[in-house]
Amino acid sequence: MRIINIVLALLLSMPVLRAQESATSSSSNLSDVVEHNAQMGFNDTIDRMADDFIRASLVIASPGEVLYSILGHAAIRLQSTTYDLDYIFSYESESVRGRVLRFLANDLKMGMVALPVDIYLQPYKEDGRGVKEYPMNLPPEVEIELWRILDEKVAEGMDLPYDYIDRGCVITIVRVIDEAIASANAKNGTHYELRYPELGKDFDRTLREIVYDNSPEGWQRFFGMTLVGGKVDSQKLAPTDKLIIPRELVSVWENTTINNTPILGSSEELLPIEREYKGDAFSPFYASLLVLVLAIGSLFWRKPYIDWLILGMQTILGVLMVWLLISPLPGSEWSWLIIPFNPLPILFWKWRDKWCIPYAVLMVIWSVGMMCAPHRLVEAAHIILVYAFIIVILKQTIIKNIIKKNDNK
């Protein structure tokens, strides 16, 4: 029962699978912030601003304990001491709390907001998470274009379709910097260029593998890996399109230059880390092992309660996977989990004696395929659950018939 409560709590509280997270989730109302930004007139300020009056920084928040924060968060801080301006530009989305169905239907909105530094830092301080700032050594022309571009994104408001893949915090920053450099070159006849280091084998990984490798083992990672598919399993993305993890962006940019100047300076601590999430002690892996043990134990127990509990889990996951397959939610175009987790076993339960053996063989082939795949496609817990389902279905068919025959003798 505690596991069910944990699952429900996560589903009701998470802005699921965002590479970015809501920095204002426990403080200010985003609609008020957006309205405030619209009244500030950033463009007017920029037109009157001298080239050297802007300081740009990369802001990195440490990982948190809930699903949308386990990767950390990245944002851009822009300051002008002359005009007493100091804002952190961050992609935010509507909260999923109370809007789970809207999230699954991809009906939530997101957008860029400019937050005063103290407001931005407050929820991180409450969560005991650390925040670091890395000064960016950008040419003045690029900094001006960067502020203009971010200001335009703020002006778009919170009306953009929710997209945690193409509007993730890190990939957005990479693209915004590229756009600012291109715009500065076009306007000023300059030739600024970012030069990345050789990214190496780490970026041969898929987005799923990158997220998996950077997430602590726990229920958050399990639900994240359950809900995504499609593009996150693609190998065809450019290496820079795989920069989705804040700390990996820092690692790469520490060796990246713009016209022979390192793009990042030394870090400065805005908030110290007071609590660090290291995963769940009772992880999905151990929970799935427990389900498998129960399935095996049910072979020696004539009561069907455990069987129906396990089959109910399979059906619930199956309905979710079917919904994700037809949902417009980004990153759920296809998932290999749709093969073992679908509602067909329950729908055709009356004829289970006819399909149980082919089903069991298919599930074994699927699980072997997942383990032999060159890139990670599912978690170990998923595979263990599949074997539990196989045991229960075989018990309800072949083994049950054998027991009946023995009893009749």
- Distances in Å between the alpha carbon of 61 and those of 17, 164, 273? 16, 17, 9
Of all residues in the chain, the percent with pLDDT exceeding 90 is 51
Q: What is the pLDDT of residue 17?
A: 30
pTM, rounded to two decimals:
0.81
What's the mean per-residue pLDDT of the chain?
A: 82
| Mean pLDDT confidence for 93-98 | 68
Of all residues in the chain, the percent with pLDDT exceeding 70 is 83
- Specify whether the CB–CB gap between 379 and 222 falls below 8 A: yes
Q: What is the pLDDT of residue 341?
A: 95
Q: What is the pLDDT of residue 340?
A: 95
Q: What is the pLDDT of residue 403?
A: 54
- Which has the minimum average pLDDT: 37-46, 60-69, 91-100, 166-175? 37-46
If pLDDT is split at 50, 70 and 90, which confidence band does 9 have?
A: very low
Q: What is the pLDDT of residue 160?
A: 80
If pLDDT is split at 50, 70 and 90, which confidence band does 20 have?
A: very low
Q: Is the pLDDT of residue 131 over 80?
A: yes
Q: What is the pLDDT of residue 329?
A: 80
- Rounded CA-CA distance 129/62 in Å is 6
If pLDDT is split at 50, 70 and 90, which confidence band does 3 have?
A: very low
- Rounded CA-CA distance 208/334 in Å is 13
- Specify whether the CB–CB gap between 338 and 325 falls below 8 A: yes
- Distances in Å between the alpha carbon of 250 and those of 26, 243, 302? 27, 10, 57
| Mean pLDDT confidence for 279-308 | 89
- Rounded CA-CA distance 324/335 in Å is 9
Tokens found for residue 308: 């129906």
Rg (CA), the chain: 25
Q: Rank 11-15, 91-95, 105-109, 250-254 by mean pLDDT and report only the highest.
A: 250-254
Q: What is the pLDDT of residue 50?
A: 55
Q: Is the pLDDT of residue 371 over 90?
A: yes
- Specify whether the CB–CB gap between 169 and 131 falls below 8 A: no
| Mean pLDDT confidence for 296-323 | 89
Q: What is the pLDDT of residue 231?
A: 84
Beta-strand pair 55-61/257-258: unpaired
Q: What is the pLDDT of residue 1?
A: 36
Q: Rank 20-34, 184-198, 228-242 by mean pLDDT and report only the highest.
A: 184-198
- Which has the minimum average pLDDT: 2-11, 118-127, 187-196, 247-256? 2-11
Q: What is the pLDDT of residue 406?
A: 55
Q: Which residue has the higher pLDDT, 247 or 399?
A: 247
pLDDT 10s digits, 35-63: 544 454 454 445 544 555 789 999 999 99
| Mean pLDDT confidence for 155-174 | 85
- Rounded CA-CA distance 34/115 in Å is 9
Q: Is the pLDDT of residue 279 over 90?
A: no
- Say which residues have a Cβ less than 8 Å from residue 124's Cβ, sequence separation at least 6: 23, 61, 130, 131, 271
| Mean pLDDT confidence for 334-354 | 92
Q: Is the pLDDT of residue 11 over 50?
A: no
Tokens found for residue 234: 């693609």
If pLDDT is split at 50, 70 and 90, which confidence band does 98 have?
A: low
